[in-house]
Chain A
Amino acid sequence: MNRPETVEAIGKCLAEVLKHEVTDLGEDVRLFDDLHLDSTSVLELLMVLEDNVGLEIDPENLDMDDFRTIGSLADYVDRNLALRD
């Protein structure tokens, strides 16, 4: 996936978890503070990412910095997809 595709895929995952469309997919949009993702929905987001993007995630080995913004999450997804390939 190129970068816009990664960001779009993340937007779809977030919409599924948050149960509403995410209209602003700017890379500096913060997942917790701006989109109000909460600790309950993080595990769900991980499962949706596994389903939709094809990652295999170990939830207990994550760096919170990767989940700060849409951009940092896109970096995380790109990095892990590259490792998988």
Chain B
Amino acid sequence: MPGSPVTTTAANTDTRYLRAIKTALTGDPDTRLVLLCNFEVEQQWARGHIGLPDPGFAVSAPLVQRMEELGALLAGPDDFLILRTPLDPGYRAYAESAGTALPTQLVPENGAEAQSTAEAVLASPQLLRRLSELGREGARLLPMGVSALEQRVAEVCGLPLAVPDAATCERVNSKIYGRRLVEAAGLRPVPGQCCETVAEFAAALTRRAAALEAGSPVVVKDAFGVSGKGLVLLESPVRARRLLTMVQRRAERRGDDRLEVVVEDWLPKAFDLNYQVVVDRDGRVELDFVKGALTENGVHRGHVMPPDLDAGHLAEIGQAAQAVGAALYADGFTGVAGIDAILGANGLLYPVLEINARLNMSTYQGSVTERFLPPESTALAKHYTLALTAPLTFEAVRSALGPVADLDGPGPADGRRLVITCFGTVNAAADTAAANASSFQGRLHTLLIAPDRAGLAALDTTVQAALSQLSDVRPTSETTALNRKEQ
């Protein structure tokens, strides 16, 4: 029955989801993991690769870093989570009020503000010693994605990685690699080209000039685009020429013709999708889930589950998952990979838009949905953007949201419930803002649960209203999108 209470599957133990990941990665469901949730990993992978011109405005670096707290609800009580800043005690008590202990926090004792978490770990002898002990006891390091920095942490501590090395992870995360994999596997590609020189880029745009003139947009993506960056939508031939000129000017100035981008048709779509495969150490491939993905101009805004897919499309995704997983394994990759796909407005499924061979946003939702999402119910994972002038206490947020956010009972009778999945991002930018005497943006990450899509949309509206007591909540399009799909 929708909205009926969900018994915590096993209080104080790992979720089935987490145990399956541990088994696939290490061969043992009881392996203790040390999570390092380096959400900025693409920045590291992008080094040494020439992509789109980058203004280099690190608008939300502290905020992105604090998303590492999302690991708290994925990991089990015997696991460890490396965090630059400890969890807010109020949030920790809230998260544990559902009866499940959180992982042990490991906080680097050193590290400059601008450094990544891995860099801070490397600068912290006490923590390095602790990680070495854990390595000797059989623990494994699971970064969100492995760059040279996380590999260095593993090597310095003798704490083995649960996934392949940085070179392998970087290689299989290039969008150029992904397009070639799709073509080699015989999957339906999004019409487009890989470009590795400025001349190839010019040719790809020329090939699309007529389509652009006719009003069909083109998207250019960096091979190593950081989430929300490294992507530009070209909606006219003038804009395409402008971008090409910028790229050519830079190439001339540097005397370097290299460029790593993909140029693709911007397909009219019904909706975006995201699914997760886990490739185990023996090459077995498991499709964990398929979710609807909410995006705005190519930027991730949330996930909705289950997606509106018929059995035929689900079967097609199942086949694509096996093909992508097998190809990744053949190329030396094991571990978790998230794959973005779209269902075109023409009803055709494009099963691979891009491959992110690392943990994804949706990866972190798996334990939460197992614990709180009743069968037959729907869920929306999203964040609310808050315009703040001073830090918010967890208690203030909790109080504004009311009983719908309770975790220690069966939940409201109407089956609507909210789980706060990351609180640290609310105040992550507060220190910088205080230094500049300005306001700042915070993000509250949540999972909304309701018996149906209409209920989700209504809950979303209620939550926005509740949070508007605390700040200006930036209007979002999720409610509109949910309602549209409900029709």
Which residues of A approach B to under 8 Å, CB–CB?
Answer: 30, 32-33, 36, 38-44, 46-47, 50-51, 56-60, 62, 64, 67
A62 to B243, CA, bound (A): 17
Contacting pair B439 A39 (CB below 8 A): no
Contacting pair A47 B246 (CB below 8 A): yes
Which B221-253 residues sit within 8 Å CB-CB of chain A? 228-229, 231-233, 238-239, 242-243, 246, 249-250, 253
Can you list, as one digit per residue, whether each of B438-457 has a CB less than 8 Å from chain A (1) or not (0)?
Answer: 11110000000000000000
Which B49-73 residues sit within 8 Å CB-CB of chain A? 52-57, 59-60
Tell me whether A33 and B55 are in contact in the complex, defined as CB-CB below 8 angstroms, given that A44-B233, A47-B246, A60-B250 are known contacts.
Answer: no
Size range of the chain B interface in the assembly: 20 to 34
B387 at the binding interface (Cβ < 8 Å): yes
- The 8 Å CB contact of A59, one of B55, B60, B228, B297, is B55
The 5 closest A-B pairs by CB, nearest first: A59-B53, A47-B242, A39-B229, A42-B55, A59-B55
B299 at the binding interface (Cβ < 8 Å): yes
- The 8 Å CB contact of B228, one of A33, A36, A40, A56, is A40
Q: Cβ of A50: which chain B residues have Cβ within 8 Å of it?
A: 242
- The 8 Å CB contact of A46, one of B55, B238, B439, B474, is B55
A30 to B230, CA, bound (A): 23
**Total inter-chain residue pairs, C-beta < 8 Å:** 71
- The 8 Å CB contact of A33, one of B239, B242, B439, is B439
Contacting pair B440 A33 (CB below 8 A): yes
A46 to B387, CA, bound (A): 26
Contacting pair B297 A40 (CB below 8 A): yes
A37, chain B: closest CB distance, angstroms: 9
Contacting pair B242 A43 (CB below 8 A): no
A57 to B55, CA, bound (A): 10
B298 at the binding interface (Cβ < 8 Å): yes
A22 to B441, CA, bound (A): 20
Look across to chain A and name the residue whose beta carbon is closest to the beta carbon of B239.
A47
Contacting pair B297 A42 (CB below 8 A): no
Contacting pair A43 B228 (CB below 8 A): no
Contacting pair B233 A36 (CB below 8 A): no
Look across to chain B and name the residue whose beta carbon is closest to the beta carbon of A64.
B57
Q: Cβ of A62: which chain B residues have Cβ within 8 Å of it?
A: 55-57
Contacting pair A40 B229 (CB below 8 A): yes
Look across to chain B and name the residue whose beta carbon is closest to the beta carbon of A44.
B232
Provide a sorted-by-A list of 30 A–B residue pairs whose CB atoms are within 8 angstroms: A32-B57, A32-B59, A33-B387, A33-B438, A33-B440, A39-B228, A39-B229, A40-B229, A40-B231, A40-B298, A40-B299, A41-B297, A43-B53, A43-B54, A43-B232, A44-B232, A46-B55, A46-B246, A47-B242, A47-B243, A51-B238, A51-B239, A58-B249, A58-B253, A59-B53, A59-B246, A60-B55, A62-B56, A64-B57, A67-B55
Q: Cβ of B299: which chain A residues have Cβ within 8 Å of it?
A: 38, 40
A51, chain B: closest CB distance, angstroms: 6
Contacting pair A36 B54 (CB below 8 A): no
A24 to B440, CA, bound (A): 19
B217, chain A: closest CB distance, angstroms: 12
Look across to chain B and name the residue whose beta carbon is closest to the beta carbon of A30.
B438
Q: Cβ of B387: which chain A residues have Cβ within 8 Å of it?
A: 33
Q: Cβ of A64: which chain B residues have Cβ within 8 Å of it?
A: 55-57
Q: Cβ of A67: which chain B residues have Cβ within 8 Å of it?
A: 55, 57
Contacting pair B441 A33 (CB below 8 A): yes
Q: Cβ of B52: which chain A residues have Cβ within 8 Å of it?
A: 43
Q: Cβ of B249: which chain A residues have Cβ within 8 Å of it?
A: 56, 58
A46 to B246, CA, bound (A): 10
B244, chain A: closest CB distance, angstroms: 11
Tell me whether A60 and B232 are in contact in the complex, defined as CB-CB below 8 angstroms, given that A32-B59, A39-B59 are known contacts.
Answer: no
Q: Cβ of B243: which chain A residues have Cβ within 8 Å of it?
A: 43, 47
Q: Cβ of B246: which chain A residues have Cβ within 8 Å of it?
A: 46-47, 57, 59
Contacting pair B59 A38 (CB below 8 A): yes
A83 to B299, CA, bound (A): 36
Look across to chain A and name the residue whose beta carbon is closest to the beta carbon of B60.
A39
Q: Cβ of B239: which chain A residues have Cβ within 8 Å of it?
A: 44, 47, 51
A44 to B440, CA, bound (A): 23
B473, chain A: closest CB distance, angstroms: 12
B310, chain A: closest CB distance, angstroms: 32
Q: Cβ of B53: which chain A residues have Cβ within 8 Å of it?
A: 43, 46, 58-60
Which B94-146 residues sit within 8 Å CB-CB of chain A? none
Which B429-444 residues sit within 8 Å CB-CB of chain A? 438-441
Look across to chain B and name the residue whose beta carbon is closest to the beta carbon of A39.
B229
B332, chain A: closest CB distance, angstroms: 32
B69, chain A: closest CB distance, angstroms: 22
Contacting pair B242 A59 (CB below 8 A): no
Contacting pair B54 A60 (CB below 8 A): yes
Can you list, as one digit per residue, whether each of B345-368 has a CB less than 8 Å from chain A (1) or not (0)?
Answer: 000000000000000000000000
B425, chain A: closest CB distance, angstroms: 16
B164, chain A: closest CB distance, angstroms: 29
